[in-house]
Amino acid sequence: MKLFELLKDFSHQIINGSDSIEIANLVYDSRKVQNGDVFVCIKGANRDSHDLIGEVVNAGAKAVIVQNDVGREKFDALADETAGKIRDTAIVKVDATRYALACMSAAYFGYPATRLVTIGVTGTKGKTTTAYMIRAVLEKAGIKTGLIGTVETIIGDEVIPSANTTPESYVVQNYFLKMAEAGCKAVVMEVSSQGLMMDRVAGFTFDYGIFTNLSKDHIGANEHKDFDDYMSCKAKLFKMCKHGIFNIDDPHAEDMMRDATCTIETFAVEKQADLMAKNITLLRKPGVIGIAYDLMGKINMPVEIHIPGRFNVYNTLTAISVCYHFTKDLEMIKRVLEDIRVRGRVEIVEVSDKFTMMIDYAHNAMSLESLLLSLKEYNPKRVVAVFGCGGNRSRDRRFEMGQVSSRLAELTIITSDNPRFEKPEDIVADIVTGVKRENGAYVTILDRKEAIKYAIENGQEGDVIVIAGKGHEDYQEIEGVKYPMDDRQLIKDAKEELGL
């Protein structure tokens, strides 16, 4: 492949060498550079690979993509560092190397998104559940569908655990190609604000973009500088898709739609929309708690979900809005949504006939509040919340989650989550500060298994106990190391120790 074939979709300037050279591989990890490769310099939070130009040229890179200036002084220094090899190297200047990487990746893999119907889901909460719902319906309709998300990537029969909600653009395009080659006709993916901010989903146009909701989250030193930045990054999706589907009950829906270049479709519970959920009722059956409603608007039918929480009304509205573009088999859609289960999303774990225990990924104040309010509607004897907060993230999240739990749960059990590079006891102390803003009962137990064991041992008849914050995750991150830890296994170990 010629270098110019990778550069044709974005503006650039050749500042050294030629774009007619043959390229072996597209690389953005300096450790993987081999002879004949083109290397894209990426500026990250902890390292700027522009500092590694000499290293990659010595490793055999024949072209380097940069966004920093490589002036005469820098070029002469690189010439010395590379024994003159840099003089035969193509150096291409671009406005943003992450955007360039996305466009180059699409070209490198042969524009695989054009072989798939691409569905992107963005929002603060609901992305994962909605993505699984959409995939389940499409698969049942005979449309083989890939998935890229927080929990995993699914390519045919291959399942790959996820490191990021939205992977790097090179990985996204590689997955698209593998999906197309595996016979997939569609892909549904969670699109994070970080993914949009870092151009991980640039280089192609989504067929469908979905907005679930928006609240204050992912704001901090290593994430978004403020809420406006977070919101504007989310809104980018709707300049990158053909058809947008919006939850117009959300107070920020108008902001999401304001500069959208796509066609628009809406769903709602409270407002007038293309699809509406009316007559919402709590559903209780032996072994099942869920919710039911009447779907109205361009589709009219009853819907039943065997997952608790009014927020799942919005999730199913989203899924139906999307899937109706693919199939008109309403009975099939109803059956699939009724039986849907998503790992770590209000996932009920069998522990005791006395109480209900569930695992959920709620890891910010909005999602925890929504979850606890939804569970209280079922009139349990008590709601018990077991959670911690991640280290090296906004401290405000800790105060807010503590306050929400103290206000809504009859008992808050504060424990450790992913402390990362902070001391767990410092994080817990911040949560306690929030708890004390209300008058709820609480205990602190740093060891997560012991906290879960305490919740089980002290569970009362009719309780609902929520283990929140980690959901699908099967690790605990401490000082840069991920140690195996899964809430399901912790529950199992606690049961065994209690003789249950």
Annotation: CATH topology of 109-339: UDP-N-acetylmuramoyl-L-alanine:D-glutamate ligase (3.40.1190)
Polymer length in residues for the chain: 500
Q: Is this structure's pTM higher than 0.85?
A: no
Q: Shortest CA distance to 471 belongs to which of 485, 456, 454?
A: 485
Question: Residue 159: helix, strand or coil by DSSP?
Answer: strand
Residues 6+ apart with CB under 8 A from 46: none
Give the pLDDT band of residue 231 (cuts 50, 70, 90). Answer: confident
CA distance linking residue 185 with residue 206, whole number of Å: 14
Please say if the pLDDT value at position 287 is more than 60. no
- φ/ψ region of 17 (left if φ > 0, alpha if ψ in -120 to 50, else beta) reads left
- Across the chain, mean pLDDT equals 93
Q: How is residue 285 written in tokens? A: 């059956």
Please say if the pLDDT value at position 220 is more than 70. no
CA distance linking residue 118 with residue 85, whole number of Å: 42
Do the bridges between strand 275-285 and strand 13-16 make them parallel or antiparallel, or are there none, so unpaired? unpaired
Domain with CATH 3.90.190.20 in the chain: 347-497
- pLDDT given for residue 217 in this prediction: 55
pLDDT digits (tens, 9 = 90+) for 409-451: 999 999 999 999 999 999 999 999 999 999 999 999 999 999 9
User: Do the beta carbons of residue 209 and residue 122 sit within 8 Å?
Assistant: yes
User: Do the beta carbons of residue 460 and residue 382 sit within 8 Å?
Assistant: yes
> H or E stretch including 234?
helix 227-235
Of residues 194 and 481, more confidently modeled:
481
Annotation: CATH topology of 3-104: 3.40.1390
Arithmetic mean of pLDDT, 98-116: 98
CA distance linking residue 372 with residue 375, whole number of Å: 5
Arithmetic mean of pLDDT, 5-12: 97
pLDDT digits (tens, 9 = 90+) for 346-387: 888 989 988 989 999 999 998 899 899 989 998 899 999 999
CA distance linking residue 389 with residue 452, whole number of Å: 15
- pLDDT given for residue 341 in this prediction: 84
pLDDT digits (tens, 9 = 90+) for 149-173: 988 999 999 999 888 888 999 999 9
Q: Shortest CA distance to 16 belongs to which of 100, 105, 86, 109?
A: 86
User: Do the beta carbons of residue 203 and residue 317 sit within 8 Å?
Assistant: no
pLDDT digits (tens, 9 = 90+) for 41-99: 998 877 899 999 999 999 999 999 999 998 889 999 999 999 999 999 999 999 999 99
CA distance linking residue 345 with residue 299, whole number of Å: 27
CATH architecture of 347-497: Alpha-Beta Complex (3.90)
Q: Which residue has the tokens 């008992």?
A: 411
Domain with CATH 3.40.1190.10 in the chain: 109-339
- pLDDT given for residue 428 in this prediction: 98
- pLDDT given for residue 223 in this prediction: 60
- φ/ψ region of 9 (left if φ > 0, alpha if ψ in -120 to 50, else beta) reads alpha
- pLDDT given for residue 151 in this prediction: 87
Domain with CATH 3.40.1390.10 in the chain: 3-104
What's the angle, vertex CA 67, arms to CA 64 and CA 73, rounded to 5? 75
Please say if the pLDDT value at position 218 is more than 60. no
CA distance linking residue 249 with residue 301, whole number of Å: 21
Arithmetic mean of pLDDT, 193-217: 90
Q: Which residue has the tokens 């204050």?
A: 216
- pLDDT given for residue 47 in this prediction: 86
Q: How many CB atoms lie within 10 A of CB 11?
A: 9
Arithmetic mean of pLDDT, 450-460: 97
- pLDDT given for residue 310 in this prediction: 85
Give the pLDDT band of residue 113 (cuts 50, 70, 90). Answer: very high
What's the angle, vertex CA 308, arms to CA 382 and CA 439, rounded to 5? 30
| DSSP alpha helix (H) spans, 45-156 | 53-58, 72-81, 97-108, 127-140
Please say if the pLDDT value at position 198 is more than 80. yes
